[in-house]
Amino acid sequence: MNKIRLTAILLILLSCCAEKPEFFTSSGGVKYKLLDFTAEENPIELGAYLSLYTSYFNSSDSLFYSSTIFKVNHLEYHYLNTADPGTFQEVLSELHLGDSAVIYIETENFFQNYLESDVPDFLEGDSVMTVRVRVVNTQSYSDHLAQIRAQKDWMEMKEFSIIKKFLEGSQMSFSQKEGGVHVAVIETDTVRGEQISFGDLIKLNYEGKFLEGKNVFYSTYRNLVPDEFSYGRQGQLIKGLEVALSGRKYGDSIEVVVPSNMAFGENGSAGGLVPGYTALHYGIRILLNN
């Protein structure tokens, strides 16, 4: 057991009954404390891929990101390729498999040196943020890729099973479109209905639900106003809804099943409202073109 780790463990044991736990400082000056640790010798080596539970807090101790919320399997994967003094990576390199720690680091340091990105507008670069981390696993590059592939295959098969079960149990007549999108026409106006065209400004009243669980994640009926879209313009609608609306008429009502590959993919929606590998169910009414 290295000297730093032995000292940290001894100090935690001595301070377990004290009012405040002891803090430690890496050789580069980053402050941290161990919340939980293992006495076994499983040091993290450079070049390893780490599976971590992470939570990020701003200087006011308000949570603004957590892997348990935004990641499908609640884990983040971090590649530890350096341990430069004074960086987040340096503290990671001092942890062992199974350790849990709270790391206090300057926001700009964390984003620029670790995430290699600019500091978001809602954070102050010269403030000190808090990162809570637990080391769940360490892997080689080849083992990491194998795990990701296996996990992806499992999630895809689970989603396929959910869609298949829904379609088989539905009373509606769905037809399959591009990319595995399924559409059932509930109502159409064969007399007055004019087909929507590329570039049309269309108004939709719709409700989006998770296919599994049926929980509503978005509804224009709740908002009391329909949404407007420029049909066919990139970025206006998810690909699955573009496919579902193709060839439809003003006044139509349809039910749509959208697999994740035609919606928000393996990473989910921005902000985490829709998780990755999540099939969606929409009920849509295309309002008449007045």
Q: Please give the full DSSP string across 137-202, using - where no structure is assigned.
A: EEE-HHHHHHHHHHHHHHHHHHHHHHHHHHHHH-SS--EE-GGG-EEEEEE--TTTPPBP-TT-EE
Do 183 and 280 lie in a common domain?
A: yes
* SS3 (DSSP) at 53: strand
Q: What confidence tier does 194 reach under pLDDT thresholds 50, 70, 90? A: confident
Do 70 and 162 lie in a common domain?
A: no
Do 111 and 226 lie in a common domain?
A: no
Specify the pLDDT at position 139.
83
Host domain of residue 166: 154-286
Q: Tell if the pTM clears 0.75, that is, is over it.
A: no
Q: What confidence tier does 72 reach under pLDDT thresholds 50, 70, 90? A: low
Specify the pLDDT at position 290.
65
d(CA 50, CA 67): 13
Do 206 and 261 lie in a common domain?
A: yes
Do 164 and 278 lie in a common domain?
A: yes
Asked if residue 44 is part of any domain, the answer here is yes
d(CA 49, CA 75): 12
Asked if residue 118 is part of any domain, the answer here is yes
Residues 120-147: pLDDT tens digits?
A: 888 998 999 999 999 998 887 777 777 7
Do 35 and 112 lie in a common domain?
A: yes
Specify the pLDDT at position 273.
83
Asked if residue 166 is part of any domain, the answer here is yes
Asked if residue 139 is part of any domain, the answer here is yes
Do 71 and 197 lie in a common domain?
A: no
d(CA 43, CA 93): 8
- The helix (H) or strand (E) run that includes residue 78 is strand 76-80
The set of residues, in sequence order, having a beta carbon less than 8 Å from that of 171 and lying 6+ positions away, is: none
Do 259 and 172 lie in a common domain?
A: yes
The set of residues, in sequence order, having a beta carbon less than 8 Å from that of 169 and lying 6+ positions away, is: none
Residues 101-118: pLDDT tens digits?
A: 999 999 999 999 898 888
Specify the pLDDT at position 40.
66
Do 85 and 105 lie in a common domain?
A: yes
Q: Residue 199: pLDDT above 50? A: yes
Asked if residue 73 is part of any domain, the answer here is yes
Specify the pLDDT at position 4.
53
Q: What is the CATH number of the domain that holds 194?
A: 3.10.50.40
Total domains in the fold of the chain = 2
Pair 45, 114: CB distance under 8 Å? no
Do 131 and 190 lie in a common domain?
A: no
Asked if residue 149 is part of any domain, the answer here is no
Do 133 and 207 lie in a common domain?
A: no
Q: Residue 220: pLDDT above 90? A: yes
Do 166 and 76 lie in a common domain?
A: no
**Mean pLDDT, the chain, as a whole number?**
86
Pair 112, 105: CB distance under 8 Å? no
Q: Residue 79: pLDDT above 70? A: yes
Asked if residue 115 is part of any domain, the answer here is yes
Percent of the chain clearing pLDDT 90 (strictly above)? 49
The DSSP output letter for 124 is: -
